[in-house]
Structures are given as structure tokens and as C-alpha cells.
Structure 1
Amino acid sequence: MEMTDAGAYGAVPAARSDHRVKRVVFASALGTIIEWYDFLIYGAAAALVFNKLFFPADDPFLGTLAALGSAAVGFFARPFGGAVFGYFGDRLGRKSMLLLTLLIMGLGTFAIGLLPTYAQIGIWAPILLVLLRVIQGIGLGGEWGGAALMVLEHAPARRRGLCGSLVQVGFPIGLILSAGVFALVSKLPEEEFLSWGWRVPFLSSLVLVILGAFIRMKVEESPVFEAMKAKQEIARNPLAEALFKHPKSFFIAIGLKISEVSWVYMLTVFVVVYATTKLGLPKSQILDAIMIAAAIEIVTIPLFGYLSDVFGRRPFYFAGSLFTIAFAFPMFWLLGTKDPLVIVAAVAVALSFGHGLMFAPEATYFPELFGARSRYSGASFGFQVAAAIGGGLTPVLATVLSEKMGGTAGISIMLIVLALITLTAAFFAHETRNKSVSAL
């Protein structure tokens, strides 16, 4: 009879745990969908709205740059959330952190939808917007690690990659919801869209958060954490343990994440700006392409997660980084055709293979790199530091490079350099597929 992989910290018979695993996976994935939706609608709004309503400037480039910079602030808040909630998640438990981070993110997002604009309250408008973006970043920074660990520590040993990838599906679904709702409200007349239409995606988040919190309250605590608590093996300072006892794993996690996260935010934030301002494409066309690509990724991410249980985690980082190196220039050449079908195909291929290949095993692989006592802290902090560097800076740097160099060659070179970092990290990483969760 198959056992859940709790190793030295106890195991739960499969007959008793199947329902629990399904419930944990569903609750973790649903909460992650909500978290990503909340975080990603800001990126869409920064590209389409905030440059006009919160960061008005005589030079449209400066307004766009300021709006994207405010989006980047959320990324820089994510490591703080990862560190704080990771620490308490390793000390107090995974479940309580999942509920708290979901509420923090949801209330911050809802409040953005209520903000007055620059024309109404002047400089306080962008200040309050940035503060709420920080709150969003802190919430997401703590949420991902908790969701990943709850699934990892409940999942059967031979299905950890697949189960973990279902948490990652929250990203493309959140992307579809965020892009879809903005595609819908952007069909309003421009005056109505800028007046009240853009607020709808933020305000509607409250309903999703209430639903997610209710479902997560029904989930049981991780059996690995409960067993550690019973044996009094809780780390006194899990963050320090992750950084100083597992420094190699920490830096490898950053390196493994850096290419994928830079690539995906280049696609979902910068490309929206580039396509609508430089290529003159309609907002709906590029948003539709992103939604179609994300819909395909709902299938490819679990597929890659399943395959990571068969072939291991490392091969997907080799494959993903090599794809990015090969596709960094062709991606922009294909966008430049302005052909709707070519653009959809290019974005779909880029998202699944430049992002999905490496993103799919992350919820399993990153926690597996650390010991049970400090894996919330280690996985969350490493993941979020890379997200801050890659996701926060990439759209801003890409915008500057495009403006100053008059093309996209500099952007492609930047993406290739980041992919080489991930390739190097994969070379030094170790395989974890066949190891016990408690032995890692």
C-alpha cells in the first residue's frame, strides 16, 4: 500500500490519506489562483491604466516607466514576505500562514480598487498605490511557500512532482482571469474604462478571497510539521538554518528561478507595453494571445510535473534554459510580424517552454532542496529573492533598453544571460526525485 512521504516524521496510509491529499491540493491550488490573480492584475493595470491615472507625465515613456516601477515594488516586497512567513510557517505551522497571507493579499488588492487618482488627491495617490503594492508583495511572498509545502508534505512519494505542479497551475489560471477581466473591461469606451472600469478587477477580488479562506480553513495541518512538533524538533531559527546550513541550496534556488521568472514577466508585462506602444497592436489582441498561451499552460504544467516524477527535476531546468537561449531573438521577430496567428503561436510556445518547463517542478523541487525544519523559510526566501531580481527588474530594464537602444536586441541578450545563470545553477544542483521528504 502506497504511503505519503512523511518518512521519519511519520506516514499516513494511502487509503486514509487520498481524500486528504485531494483536499489539500484543491485548497492550495485555489488559494494560489486567487493570489496570482491579485498580483497579476496590478501588472496589467500598470501597463494600461496606472501610467495615466496615477503617474501622469508629459513624456509617456516616463509615465509608463513609473507605473512599471511601482509594479516592481511588489516584487521587492516578496522576499520580506517569504522570510517572515517562512520563519513563522516553520515555527508555528503551514496552515495558519496560508490563511493569513491570503487575507493580506486580498484586502490589499480590494483597497487598490477604491483608491482616488492623482487628479483627485495629487501625490498621495501614487504613494498609497505603492504602499498597497508592497502589501500585495508581502502576501504573495509568504503564500507560495506554504501552499507548496502543504502539498509536498501530504503527497505520495511517487507523485510529488505532479501534485506540486497542480499548485503551479494557479499561475496560468490567475493570468487568464487577470488578462480576461482586463480584456473585458478594456472594451468599454476609454472614458468609462479610465473612470471606473479598471477598478472592477480589483474590487471583485474580495469575493474570491472569502471563498478561498473558507476552503483553506477546512484543510488539515501538514503531517510532517505535526510530527516534528510532537518530537519537539522545530527549528529555533529556521531562516538562519536555511541560509547557513543550506547556503548552496539557497543560491541554487535563486539561480534556478531567475530565468523563468524574468521570461514570464517579460511576456506578460513588458510585451503588453511593447506591443501596444511600439508595434501599435490593439490591447485586446496581445491580451487574447496571453490568455490562449496561459490556457495551454494549464495542460503543459501538470504534464511537465508528471514527467518530473519520471525523469527527475533537473532535466527541466536544462531544457527550459536552453530553449530560452534559442528563442530570445526569434520571439521578438515573430511579434514584429503583427500577424495575429503568429503572435498567438509565439507567445504560447514561449510561455510553455520558457516558463512552464521550469515553473512546473518548482513547488516540489525548491522545498525538496531544504530540510524539513527550514524548508518553508529556505524555499520561500530563495524563490522570492529571484522573483524580485528577475520579475521586478526585467520589465523595467526591458522598457529602458527598448527606448535607449531603439530595438529589442538588448532585451534578448539580457534574457540569454539570465538563462545561462539558470543553466549553471542546474549543473550544480542535485536531484531530489527519489529522496524522502524527511531526509532532504
Structure 2
Amino acid sequence: MTNHNLDQDRAALLEGRQKTKRVTVPAWPRDDNDLPLVQLPVEWPMFSTLNHRTRAEQLREISATGREDLFTRDPLGPEAQDAQYRILHSQDGFDQLKEDLQERGQQEPAIITADGILINGNRRTAALRSLYQEDGVLEAQYVRCLVLPRDATPEELVDLETELQVAKDFKQEYSWVNEALLIEEHYDRADKNWDRVAARMHRAINDVRGMYEKLQQLHQLVELSNGARLHVDFLENESVFDELAKHIKNKSPQESEAVRAVYFLGVLTGAKYRDLRHLKRSDAATLVRSEIEGDAALKPILEAAEAAATETLEDDPLSELLGNSEPPSSLHNLLSFVATKRPGATVALSTGEQLLVQDALKSISSSITAAADEAKEEKRDQNSLKAPLERADKAIAELERVLDALPRARAFKEEWDEVALAERIRIIRQLVQRIELIP
């Protein structure tokens, strides 16, 4: 059965290309998984705009150009292809890949559809193209490709990409965001069945579900920013979103919102991850808000945030019907205000002054650090208060175990050492007396 979505002219050209041999591809799920190998001019294959390892970067390009259909209107057109090439060219490790290809040549063939769209090997092909077109390396003029059958379905292509990457090291070419976006797509395709997703990804259910859950937190922050922040901006913050998702899973809505607001604000302002960890508590937002209010330099930004929230509420036609609801946390208005501002932007204050957002972010980060230090000290004090009782409880439990074990030990009359037990009881009594004398 012919796939009518193929570019038939390109498919015909590729079909007529001389096939040098066939190569077995275990990841291709069909019984006949021997694919023909061809050699093609390096500029002829098309980059896949459905490439999951570039999904977050594509969202950045869409935002930069203001073109929602940049990669979908004409995926094989020059605009989409040039944008995809720029993404591949700018990814970490691209220069090292070029050096390796120039030194050792192409070791593994790429995989393309019947009309020449790259399903696997996008980065290698981009690197070869760069070597040939930009650096004049003649040995990079051609790329070797395995060709999929004409009737390959979109679902099979996604599954093939997943299998090929699972067979390698997922972290090698996928950022955590792009990996999570791929898991999200499989989850939607699998009718939200985690067993099927885990089987497809060859990973534990808790693992793929954890990736999905921290992505949902990132989705919320990106949506809150109203376009000012993108998924790709948070590639270095996986641990923050991971810990946030795990902490709020079984918490009350109030605590979840408080901790989420603090973590989001912390990520936006560049607060240190080790500081945020001390603010996983129900009053986290209150602690941070108190520190911010105590900083005279931040008072104008707080006022601007509250004014913006009031203005937004007044402009909402449903607000009168629904009534004035309280924000989810005491930091919500500030978070919403800051999230929608790029670091290089300025904010007009009620005093008439202009405040650079980057300066406000630094000050807010300092307040978060101060709140974290206070929380850490408070926890240390609480631990000090609880420590004597907790250790006494452990001692009681151990003495109860002595009572249980003693009759069995005394049954071995010849081996049992009653004198040694008496000595330990004497030491225990001395310790109890010393505890009772402590003021």
C-alpha cells in the first residue's frame, strides 16, 4: 500500500537510485527488517521536523519568528529546513561530531523514508553537510542511508526513532526536556496507559512517569510566562523540576502551590538548587514573601506586581461573575509578573523610575536565599529539640529487644556471660542517672 503523503517525485528518484546492499535493522519492527543501502548527495536528504531531540529548540524558533506553523506548513520547504539545520548546527557537541566524521568518516548509515526524510542520522547528516558546504571537505559530499518502505506509517517512524535511541544512550543526544516530550507523545498515543509507555521506552513505569510529571511542571511555568520563557531555557534545571514534582505529588493543594511558586521563582531568578531544597514546606511562600517585603529595594516591584494583577482582574469579563478569588499563594502575583518579563526588559515603577528586570531578579534571589537559610536554621533547631526524645525512643526499643533475646541467650548456660550483662546494666544505670541530673 502506497503512502500518499510521500513526495512521489522524490520517492521515484530514490527508488531508482542504485542500492549497494541490504542491512538488517533490528529496531524496525516488521519481519522484513533488511533495508536497502544507498549513497546520496549530502544536501539531498531532508531533515525531519518531527525530530524529537530538537522539539524544545523548535519551540524557541517558533517563538523567535512568531510563526506557529514554521515547521508544519511546509516541513520540506526551505524555511523549515533552514531553521532545522540551524538548530542541529547549534546543538552541543556539533563541532566535536564534525571532527569525528572528518577523522573517521561516517560509521553508521542514516535512515530515511521512501522520499528521503531523515528519521535517524539528522545530526550526522547536518555535520557532513557542514563539512562539505562550509569547510570544503570533499569526502563529506555523500551520505550513506538505509531506506524505509513506502508504506511506513507515522506511528512506525516514531517507534523506530524511540527504539534506535533506546538502543543507544538516551542522554547522549536528548536533553531531558526533549526526552520528556517524547514520553508525553507516547503517553497520549497509548491512551494514557503507563504500562504501554514503559514497554515502548524499555524503562520502568516510575521512571517514565517521573519524566512526564516534571515536564508538566515545566509546561505550567512556560505557560505562566506568556511567551517570555521557553522550554529550552530550562535545560539545566532538571533537578529542580524533578524534586518539585516528587514533593508536591501527595501534598495538599495549598502546600503544592506554595512550594511550586517558590521553586518557579527560584528557577527564574537563578536561586541555587541547594537553597530551594530547604523550602519544601507548606509555609514556603510566606517565608519568601516576608523576606521580600523586608527588602526596601523590592517594595516597588511588589507594588507593580500587585497593580498588574489588579488590572488583569479588572479586565477579565468573568471576574464580576466569579468574584475576587484569592491568588493560589502569597507569591502568585509576583511570580506571574516576573515570569512574563525577559531579564533584559525594564519595568516602569509608580515612582516613575525604570527598573531593570535582571536587577529585580537578583534581589528576589537574595530574598529566597535568606528565607532558605532561615528555614534551614529552624529545621536544625527542631532537630535539636527532637533529637533527645528520638534517641531515647531508640534506646527503649533496643532494651525491649534485650528483654526478648535474654531468655534464649541464658539457655546456653556454659557459653552465656552473666557478668558481662551485669556490667552493661551498670553502665545503663549510670547514663540514666546522668540524664536525670542534666539541668
Query: Under a length normalisation based on structure 1, what TM-score does the superposition of the two structures give?
Result: 0.21
Query: Under a length normalisation based on structure 2, what TM-score does the superposition of the two structures give?
Result: 0.21
**Bigger RCO of structures 1 and 2 (CA < 8 A, at least 6 apart):** 1
> If each structure's helix is expressed as a fraction of its own residues, which one has the higher value?
1
> If each structure's strand is expressed as a fraction of its own residues, which one has the higher value?
2
Which one has the largest radius of gyration?
2
